[in-house]
Structure 1
Amino acid sequence: MTDFVVRPAVEGEQRALFEVLGRSLHAPPVDDERWEKRSAGWPADRKVGAFADKQPIGVASSVGTAMTVPGGKVVPAAAVDGVGVRADHTRRGVLTAMMREQLGDLQARGEVLAALHASETTIYGRFGYGIGTRSQDVSVSPRRARFRDSAPAGGQVRLISSSEAIELLPELYRRIGLRRPGMIERPQRWWSSQTHRMKDLVVAVHTGPDGDDGFVAYQPQDRVMKPPEMRIALAVHNLHGANTAAVAGLWRFLLKIDLVGEVRAFGRPLDEPLAPMLVDTRAWRVTDVSDELWVRLVDVPAALAARSYRDGDPVVIEVRDPFLPANSGCYRIGPDGAGRTDELPQLRLDVDVLAMLYLGEWQATTLAAAGRIEALQADAPERADELLRTPTRPWCGTGF
């Protein structure tokens, strides 16, 4: 018998639940000033709370959004943006109960996918989440980074104020579009949560032949302005462009800023083409590669039907989902789409592994070799690789 209850939050409980989340992440206490900044972006809706003796001990929160899947279709999704359990109630099944309640809620809302950024990599696999995208952190030396003559030239770049950024960027992000599998819509609540951060960032906008088509937000760090050093580093937190020319133009701008000794960019796509544009490819140095977005197929039939598949022989996969048993079963995937089938399976895998394959980040042959997929037919992993292959690496590019 549990000593806690899990239920949807009600109006008036937001601040107490936010305090629980902050404590679980070792953040400072929530004072009135901080709560005033965050309260508009922390409504009771979509909050699942755990309570013991009527006091909150855990929270799981989400935001409604939409995600692009391979082939370009955009499906309803949930961005899980805050999960925590109070330190004196961990290891008691609180998180499991909240995850079950939250996934049930997302199913009822008709959301096909859920996604989160994991604080620890060992937590969410047991709830059906898998690493759907990965990203890289890079360090670029402006002194060495000379572009090849054949590299895209880009357009014009202008700096804008924080107030202009608050007005312009939401529409510009929509105009750029969800160009890669894994990219998500940024609802107004997301932008509202970023308002207080804009004051600490420098924002520049790229303009191409058809108007504004890219932006970057960065922050000066490690400022040394005493001769003979005279240098700073730029930390790039957000860089998006509608095309390669816009992305190249923004990078050209960053690498030409005076007194900059290093540009550090975080969470970039693994296939970002900047290094091949440079005469000295070692000017671009990868400092870390890590998991970016963890994905959960909330509605497996709808998710498989939504994405596209390349030409190749169909494959029948058996999916096991003990957390959401209705998803379990056999599915036939092929160039014409995907759906349930009574055919015998050729691959057998858990739903978290299906999430790793879904956006195109991982190959079935790799996961089969690692023991994550059971191949019931010898050539099935290779055939699945061909069907699930995507022309670009998936990437989210949005923190939440």
Structure 2
Amino acid sequence: MQTLGFDRLVTNFQPVVDIDSGIVVAYEALSRAFFDDSPVPPDRLLRDAYRDDTAAELDSAFLDSALRAIETQGLESPHSVFVNVEPASLAHGRVPQALIGAPPLVVEITERALTTDPGSLLAAAATLRAAGHLIAIDDLGAEPASLALLPLLAPEIVKLDMNLIRRQPDRMAAMTMTAIAGYAERSGAIILAEGVETPAHITRARAFGASLAQGWHYGKAAATTDEAPGVTRLRPARGRHALDVVDEPGGTTPFEVVAGAAPVKLGDRALLLQVSAFLEERAGAGGDSAVLLATFQAEDNITPATRIRYEALVGSGCLLTAYSTRASAGLPHPARSVVVADDDPLAAEWDVILLTADYAAALTAREIDPTRHREGLYEFALTTDRALVRRCARALLSR
């Protein structure tokens, strides 16, 4: 372990409490590193690990320590412990092997994982759920674009970034509050406030819809647990949760998804270009909570003018991904380019999928006859149904 910057790990447990009753309903496993009996700052450990490409190895050591402590404490009732998993451990859709076969836990994923590689994260989350774990998104509100991606991951538990309940409210706080309220109302997800230290923090946490909390007001992390968790409440409040969209029937491309549920119409290229431009403008208006996914039948359809528009969108904080049959050169950082196989049905589509914290739309089209390209006629469908748009986004992010 010394190669990772420490020679000892200690796992403590901080209580997660029901705000109304004060009953402990779970614990969060928090591991801390030491070198020569001196604590090693976790931020420094993580920074160095990502720099040295050892973040997954570091995360594995922390997770092993947490699982051993969970077993020692007898905290094996379903979903009675939260554990943290780093984005590096979920790359390419994989999950830490230690979690396969472990007692059912609540797996916390930081929201930076949500914006770094959402497709891989969705695949990893499906594997974790199949193993019996619940998903919690951690620090929600620190990365605005994660608000639009929230219904795609569909976490059972949303953990508020502590700054939301500690700092003076601002526009970002209002946007986050609105997005969380809408998501919780549709899904029944549980809201948890962390970093609670004062009665004023509790009041703010309640305003954000939190029913659970953790922080020094309720207890610091300790090596042993004072009481067993009460009857678990870590389940969606409604019978059908937003994560059920994972198993919803539908097509494998946006056009197949929307065409099965919305009217398919005939339109010309000039009209669809204007609709595409309008959705890009809406993405810009959505600012740093916007997610835009666009497909181009070929890379050369991404014109210089398109790149200029995309540069402005990325500059506003929009999370942008372009799909085409060849790698798209010259896209502004950090926009992502995904290559689509020539025989993939997606290669024949023109799609613009937009998700923001409070708006959703999908334009999807197929050319009537590519051999008569000059005529520019397309069959297309347009929807602002958030559930359909979410399924379109999943169809793209799964690639």
Larger helix fraction of residues: 2
Task: Name the structure where strand makes up a greater proportion of residues.
Answer: 1
> Normalized against structure 1, the TM-score is what?
0.26
Answer 1 or 2: higher relative contact order, Cα 8 Å, separation at least 6.
1
